[in-house]
């Protein structure tokens, strides 16, 4: 059964429905209230929470549970289906040669994610390379190089900094034996014009098949503006949510998914190269509702 792993308070409410074959309006209202509380606490945008609540309410009251289905299973299924509508399925990542560029603000976890994704592709039997074009953040080069060594994947960067666009060009040439190129870019503390100009130039140079927006799970509503800016400049095809090993549940990233009309590709769950998971709606939804 989907969503078996619900948070305790919602599970308690659901369990009260055991043995019932029909849901009353009060039952539905109580469940929807619990869901709203969990989602708002998880940083999901109010408008999304309201849209979801309305859809669940309407379906739960109007749809007849199919024969043999209990009221509890019926509403669980509706909640799951409506949550998947909002959360989306995982971004498609074909296991084939490609170039992926990472975008996001400084500290979001781009460099870490680049090395993790390279590790992930290498475990799938491909030959990835990380190209580090972040010449803005001190230490970005060393950090990327070390992580790539640990992941045992190809790496290109310039320890002396220099022009990010030139590094991108040289990096693509230097790693031409690799089949998956992962291009890390510089972030800034905020969305500044030079950040957007730079990433557009790198994008024109490496011509990525996919641009991923990397967001810290604690992002909250700040996700909206970032998503809009990056999407209108380079086009965002998917989102990576990092630091899900912390207490934040990553609901703010759904705003970015919604804003960019994209989906979630990967989750970051720690600081080492192995701490990466492909996004999978069921676990994420249970966590949001938990
Ligand atoms: P960048 O500026 O976007 O390249 O961000 P970094 O990759 O340097 O990450 C910023 C900080 O977050 C570093 O201290 C990372 O170790 C940490 N970090 C990145 N991803 C994760 C994660 O999934 N979990 C945890 N706990 N820390 C992470």
Helix (H, G, I), strand (E, B) or coil at 213: strand
For the ranges 42-51, 101-110, 182-191, 248-257, the lowest mean pLDDT is seen at 182-191
Q: Is 116 in the pocket of ligand 1 (CB under 6 A)?
A: no
Give the residue among 17, 45, 13 at the shortest CA–CA distance from 32. 13
Ligand 1 closest atom vs CA 106: 2
Q: Which residues make beta-bridge pairs with 277?
A: 267
- Is position 88 annotated in a ligand binding site? no
Which pLDDT does position 6 carry in this prediction? 64
For residue range 145-164, list pLDDT tens digits in order: 999 999 999 999 999 989 99
108 Cα: distance to centroid of ligand 1 (angstroms): 6
More confident residue, 64 or 228: 228
What's the CA angle centered on 236, arms 38 and 272, to 5 degrees? Answer: 65
From ligand 1's centre to the CA of 252, what distance in Å? 17
pLDDT at 199: 95
**What was the pLDDT predicted at 130?**
98
- Residue identified by tokens 């309305």 is 54
- pLDDT, tens digit (0-9, with 9 covering 90-100), for 112-136: 999 999 999 999 999 999 999 999 8
> Would you give the distance in Å from CA 226 to the centre of its chain?
14
User: pLDDT at position 8, please?
Assistant: 66
Q: Where does the pLDDT of residue 138 fall: very low under 50, low under 70, confident under 90, or very high at 90 and above?
A: confident
Q: Is 25 annotated as a binding residue?
A: no
Instruction: Output the pLDDT for position 10.
Output: 77
Contact indicator for 78, 63 with CB cutoff of 8 Å: yes
Phi and psi for 212 in degrees, rounded to 5? -110, 135
- How far, in Å, CA of 255 to CA of 233, rounded? 18
Using 50, 70 and 90 to split pLDDT, how confident is the model at 78? very high
Residue 290 CA: distances (Å) to CA of 7, 74, 129, 154: 3, 19, 37, 39
Residue 1 has pLDDT above 80, yes or no: no
Mean pLDDT, to the nearest integer, of 36-48?
Answer: 94
Q: Are 104 and 110 in contact (CB under 8 A)?
A: yes
More confident residue, 286 or 267: 267
Phi and psi (nearest 5°) for 14? Answer: -65, -40
CA–CA distances in Å: residue 39 to residues 14, 21, 33, 163, 262: 16, 27, 10, 43, 20
Q: Once rounded to an integer, what is the mean pLDDT over residues 181-194?
A: 87
Kind and range of the H or E element at 116? helix 110-123
Q: Is the pLDDT of residue 254 over 60?
A: yes
Give me the sign of the Cα torsion angle 25, 28, 34, 40.
negative
5-14, 200-209, 261-270, 274-283: the lowest-pLDDT one:
5-14
ipTM of the complex: 0.99
Please say whether the dihedral angle defined by the alpha carbons of residues 236, 237, 242 and 245, taken in this order, is positive or negative.
positive
262 is in an annotated binding site: no
Query: What is the pLDDT at residue 125?
Result: 98
pLDDT at residue 5, rounded to an integer: 62
Q: With cut-offs at 50, 70 and 90, classify the pLDDT of residue 12.
A: confident
Closest ligand 1 atom to the C-alpha of 268?
Answer: 23
Which pLDDT tens digit goes with each residue over 196-214? 999 999 999 999 999 999 9
Q: Which atom in ligand 1 lies closest to the alpha carbon of residue 137? A: 2
Residue 103 and residue 22: Cα distance in Å, rounded?
48
């Amino acid at each position: 059964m989907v969503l078996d792993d619900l948070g305790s308070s919602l599970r308690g409410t659901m369990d009260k429905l055991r043995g019932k074959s029909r849901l009353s309006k009060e039952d539905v209202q109580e469940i929807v209230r619990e869901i709203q509380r969990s989602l708002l606490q998880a940083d999901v945008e109010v408008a999304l929470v309201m849209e979801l609540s309305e859809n669940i309410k309407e379906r739960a009251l109007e749809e007849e549970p199919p024969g043999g289905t209990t009221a509890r299973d019926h509403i669980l299924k509706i909640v799951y289906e409506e949550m998947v509508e909002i959360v989306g399925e995982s971004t498609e990542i074909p296991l084939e040669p490609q170039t992926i560029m990472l975008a996001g603000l400084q500290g979001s976890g781009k460099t870490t994610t680049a090395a993790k994704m390279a590790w992930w592709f290498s475990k799938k039997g491909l030959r990835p390379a990380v190209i580090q074009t972040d010449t803005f953040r001190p230490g970005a080069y060393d950090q990327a190089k070390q992580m790539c060594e640990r992941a045992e994947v190809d790496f290109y960067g310039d320890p002396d900094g220099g022009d990010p666009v030139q590094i991108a060009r040289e990096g693509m040439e230097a790693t031409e034996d690799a089949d998956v190129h992962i291009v890390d870019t510089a972030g800034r503390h905020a969305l500044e014009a030079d950040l957007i100009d730079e990433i557009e130039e790198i994008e024109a140079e490496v011509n990525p098949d996919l641009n991923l927006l990397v967001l810290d799970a604690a992002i909250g509503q700040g996700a909206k503006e970032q998503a809009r800016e990056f999407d209108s400049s380079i086009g965002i095809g998917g989102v990576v949510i990092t630091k899900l090993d912390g207490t934040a549940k990553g609901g703010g990233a759904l705003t970015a998914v919604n804003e960019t009309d994209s989906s979630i590709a990967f989750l970051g769950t720690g600081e080492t190269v192995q701490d990466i998971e492909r996004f999978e709606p069921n676990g994420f939804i249970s966590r949001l509702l938990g």
